[in-house]
A and B are shown apart, each in its own frame.
Chain A
Amino acid sequence: MEEQLTRKQIRFWSGAYFVIILAMIGGFVLATSQITYSWHWSVVPTYFVAHETVKVQAELEGTVDSIQSSGESSTITVKGEDGTFESYEVPSGGELLAGETDMVFPGDTLASYQEWRPGLLMLGMMVTIKVSLYAIVIGILLGIWGGIARISANPAARWLAYTYVELIRGTPLLVQIFIWYYIGSTLINQLFHKYIGFEIPALWYGVIALAMFTGAYVTEIVRSGIQSINHGQTEAARSLGMTHFQSLRYIIMPQAMRRILPPLAGQFISLIKDSSLLGIIAVRELTKATREAVTTSFASFELFFTCAALYLILTFTLSLCVQYLERRMGTS
């Protein structure tokens, strides 16, 4: 029996919700005012898009031969001592510091202009998205194979999948990341270096660690999804002459997929959050980028709140996408 509330009680508790939230925010503001923390929200946008001054510098000794301006840019041509010409492009809006016939030496600033570039947080977020996306794709593939292997009749496949799941689930992700980075990368990179001649960047060891970790959980999700489908479905498919693979491909997986979507979404949301651990192996994802931003601006309160909000945007978007998928699959 569900608890019943009168309309008046519902109105009261709805109001109470907002009061509690406001009180929490108010309390926090009050607390910070006690410790005279000075808020600088204005620095936050500069970590999304930073603009910086680019100097156009002469690379040879000589005189400025001509300055031609077209609509989009100006071109400064310098005639060298030895008669060679070199030209420099300055976008419109840039400031021209040299005039015609000026003598210039290498390193002299001819012009300067402002350039927009993605800020630290933006870059960090892109890395977080990239790493998570790769890990999700690899994790799904690992999980589907793992899940199928986990209930295979073949003991080698079954035990391998079981070992994989237990090994990964039973150890901390942080330790796994260290192992991949310090042991895995040392081994693999040295062998690669020796025999193939290239090395895999640290980012990929982070991706592998996250993918292997997620794959183990997805394996269990896929296994329970497959097992939740009535055995009669397999029997019907096999009785029509379909192979084991065909019955999985056309009958079992499509139905299991619908059921495993919600737990899968939860797993991927965890993955996005867990990617914050990659900062410790020098992958500059969102959290590490935030910490770096804090060291240069000292606006730790603002930046960590922003960091949290950005994670929330990522996870919530993912959650919405999955809800949409679920609805679409549910109606077909």
Chain B
Amino acid sequence: MIDVKNVDKIFYAPHKIQALTDVSANIESGEVVVVIGPSGSGKSTFLRCLNHLETADAGHILIDGVDLLDPATNIDKIRAEVGMVFQSFNLFPHKTVEENIILAQRVVRKRSLSEARERTAILLEKVGIQDKAKVFPPQLSGGQQQRVAIARALAMDPKIMLFDEPTSALDPEMIGEVLDVMKTLAREGMTMVVVTHEMGFAREVADRVIFMDSGRIVEVGPPEHFFTNPSHDRTKLFLNQIL
């Protein structure tokens, strides 16, 4: 489903940093892959390359066989199939919860208003905030906002969902409600790539864990192997520090 081949990414501002070096990964349909690693290891950059929010400098990123780095690719079409959830939610503050979820369905998917409304109601129920449809995002708690953001991404009926540290900006008591929604999604067979520091989630939900450090993928494996018997020293060190 996602095929990443030899991707490099260099940032030039504020100073030159090689964020990704020769990163290759393969993510199957229905798979939940959790990306972990110390901050600055390139895991967010890797994730953002997957929907072209960052443009990789070299290599190939194939989504369903279409190369994102091919200039002929219509990136807007691909992005509609790849949902993204951000650390800071990025809800549209000038629109109500319902309007947040309806907008892209209307302008990107060209759904009718009634169809979009119907889909929105179903999604809001799924993420457990059906009573907040008419509320503006700043009036919601962080956990609620993140659940709206997940519903907004799901409204496009994406084939893949990307999560960029979805619980890092939340108060501890709200992390559970967001992870629960993500677990439900995983159980339903959604293809997910999740950058997170929630090791419990990785252990419980992930099919595979990718460990990154200094812009490279150091180790990939199923969570049981990864958490109990990592093969690289760098992985061991990292796990020792956080567990």
* A positions within 8 Å CB-CB of B: 230, 232-233, 235-243, 246, 250-251, 254-255, 258, 332
Contact = CB atoms under 8 A, between A and B. Distances in A.
- A230, A243, A254 — which one has the most chain B CB atoms within 10 A of its CB? A243
Contact of B108 (A233, A235, A242): A242
B156 A251 contact: no
B227 interface: no
Range class of the B interface residue count: 20 to 34
Given A241-B77, A241-B104, A242-B76, A236 B91 contact: yes
B194 interface: no
Nearest to A230: B90
Given A232-B86, A235-B53, A235-B86, A240 B92 contact: no
B107 A238 contact: no
B21 interface: no
A332 B94 contact: yes
A144 to B, nearest CB: 17
Contact of B152 (A232, A240, A246, A255): A240
Contact of A239 (B84, B92, B107): B84
B20 to A, nearest CB: 18
A328 B90 CA distance: 24
17 contacts: A232-B90, A236-B84, A236-B86, A236-B90, A237-B92, A238-B76, A239-B51, A239-B53, A239-B79, A239-B83, A240-B80, A241-B79, A241-B81, A242-B107, A243-B76, A250-B107, A254-B94
B41 to A, nearest CB: 21
A251 B79 contact: no
B86 A240 contact: no
Contacts of A258: 94
Contacts, number: 61
Contacts of A254: 94
B162 to A, nearest CB: 8
A154 to B, nearest CB: 15
A250 B103 contact: yes
A240 B77 CA distance: 9
Nearest to A243: B76
A240 B153 contact: yes
A243 B77 CA distance: 9
Contacts of B138: none
Interface in B68-98: 76-77, 79-84, 86, 88, 90-94
Nearest to B162: A239
A242 B86 contact: no
A258 B93 CA distance: 12
A243 B88 CA distance: 22
Given A235-B53, A240-B156, 19 more contacts: A232-B88, A232-B90, A235-B90, A236-B84, A236-B90, A239-B79, A239-B83, A240-B79, A240-B83, A240-B103, A240-B152, A240-B153, A241-B81, A242-B76, A246-B107, A246-B108, A255-B92, A255-B93, A258-B94
